[in-house]
Amino acid sequence: MRDYAVITVSRKGEPFLRKGQNRMYANNQAALSENAQNGMPADIVTEDGDYIGTGYLSLNSHVRVRILTREQGAVLDKEFYKKRFRQALTYRKDVCGTQISNCRLVFSDADRLGGLVIDRYANLLVSQISSYGMECNKDMIYEALLEVMQEAGETVEGIYERNDTPSRTKEGLPLYKGFWKDSTLSPQTIIEENGIRMHIDVENGQKTGYFLDQKSNRLLVRSLAKGKKVLDCFSHTGGFALNAAYGGAAHVTAVDLSNTALQQASANAQLNGLESRISFVQADVFAYLDTLSKGDYDLIILDPPAFTKSRRTHDHAYQGYKRINRKAMELCQDGAYLATCSCSRFMESQDFEEMLKESAEEAGVLLKQLSCTQQNADHPILWNSEDTSYLKFYLFAVLERGK
C-alpha cells in the first residue's frame, strides 16, 4: 500500500519546481500532511492540488525534499532503484568504455538520485549518502545496486561507506565510515586509469578515495608533457604528475603540503616505474612558487582544493586563485603552458575567467587558450541542477607581451 506524506509548495516556490528545479526548500513549504515523518516518501503538490514530484522528506534540512521522480504514483521501492541504477550503468558504459571499473557510477541529481553518490574503484564501490530518507532505506538501495551490477556481469566485492561528509549534519545524520555489513576486505585497492596504476585508499583518501573527475583532463596534460619540465602544484597522490611523466616529460616536480599524500604519490610512481622522473616536494604551494625563477618549468599545473565552499567566502577565494595564477604566469617563459582549474561550484566560470584575465594583465602576459573543459563525463552535468556543474579546467599557452 502506498502511504506517502503530502507536502504543499507555496505559490512563490511553485514556478521553480515547474521549471525543473529538483529541490524543494523549507521556506517554500505551505503545508504538510499529518502523517508526515522524517525520512518517509512524500509527494509534492501545489496549493491548487497539482502533482509536482516525489522524494524523501527531510524535516531537519533546508532542502525539504529532493525530487527523485516526477511520475505520479511512483513507488520508491527496490525496482525503482534498480531501474535508476541500470540507467546510470548503461550511461557509464557508453561514456567510460574500458574505464568502467574506475568511475563515478551514480552522481546524485545528475542521475535522478539526489543525495546519493557511488564511485567504483575496481572491486569496491564507495557510497556517500546525504539524504535522510536514503539513509533510512540504504539496505534496500545497496541490495538493488549489487543486483544490477551482478546482472551486468560486473564483479563487486563490497560497499564502503564514506558517510563522513559534513553536509550530512544538515540532515541530522551522523558522520561515520566503514564497510556496509561486516567485511574482511581491505579498504585499499589498485585501479588502472588510462594505463597508469594507482593505489587507492577509500578509507582515508580525499572525497571517496581519489579525484575521478579529472581523468580526461589528466590526459590533456599527458599529451603536452613530452620533453618538458613540469611542475604539478597541489599534486595530492600524483594524478597529474604521473600522467605527465607517463607522457614523456623530461622531469616532473610534484608539490603538496601533505606528506601523507606525497608518500602515496611516491608509491604510485614506483608502481608504474616512474620514480626516477618525478621529484616530490613537501611545501606550501604559495611559498614554493615564490622561490622559483622564470623559465624553471615549461608546463605548470595548478589543481588547488576548493578555495571556497560557500558564497560568503567568494571574494577571499578569488584573491587566492588570482595570487597563484598570476605567480605561475610570471614564471612562464614565452610559449610555456599553464593548466589551471577550480573545483568550487561557488567560483562561477565567468568569475574564474575574469580572475584569469586580471592575472594575465598584472603578469604582463597573453593567454592563448588550447582548451576549456569541465569534469569527466562520468560526472555528468544536469542543466537544472547547479550542484552538478563545478569543475573548470583551462589549458593555455602563455605568451609574453611585446614579442
| Residue 322, H or E segment | helix 314-331
* Set of cell numbers at residue 321: 586563485
| Residue 252, H or E segment | strand 251-256
Strand ranges of the sheet holding 229-233, from the earlier edge strand across to the other edge:
278-282, 251-256, 229-233, 299-302, 336-342, 392-400, 365-373
Distance (Å, whole) CA 403 – CA 115: 52
Neighbour count for residue 3 (Cβ, 10 Å): 7
343 catalytically annotated: yes
* Set of cell numbers at residue 305: 582544493
Neighbour count for residue 155 (Cβ, 10 Å): 9
DSSP secondary-structure letter at 311? G
Distance (Å, whole) CA 214 – CA 329: 22
30, 6 contact by CB (below 8 A):
no
Catalytic residue among 96, 233, 332, 343: 343
Neighbour count for residue 151 (Cβ, 10 Å): 12
Distance (Å, whole) CA 131 – CA 163: 11
312, 357 contact by CB (below 8 A):
no
Give the active site residues.
343
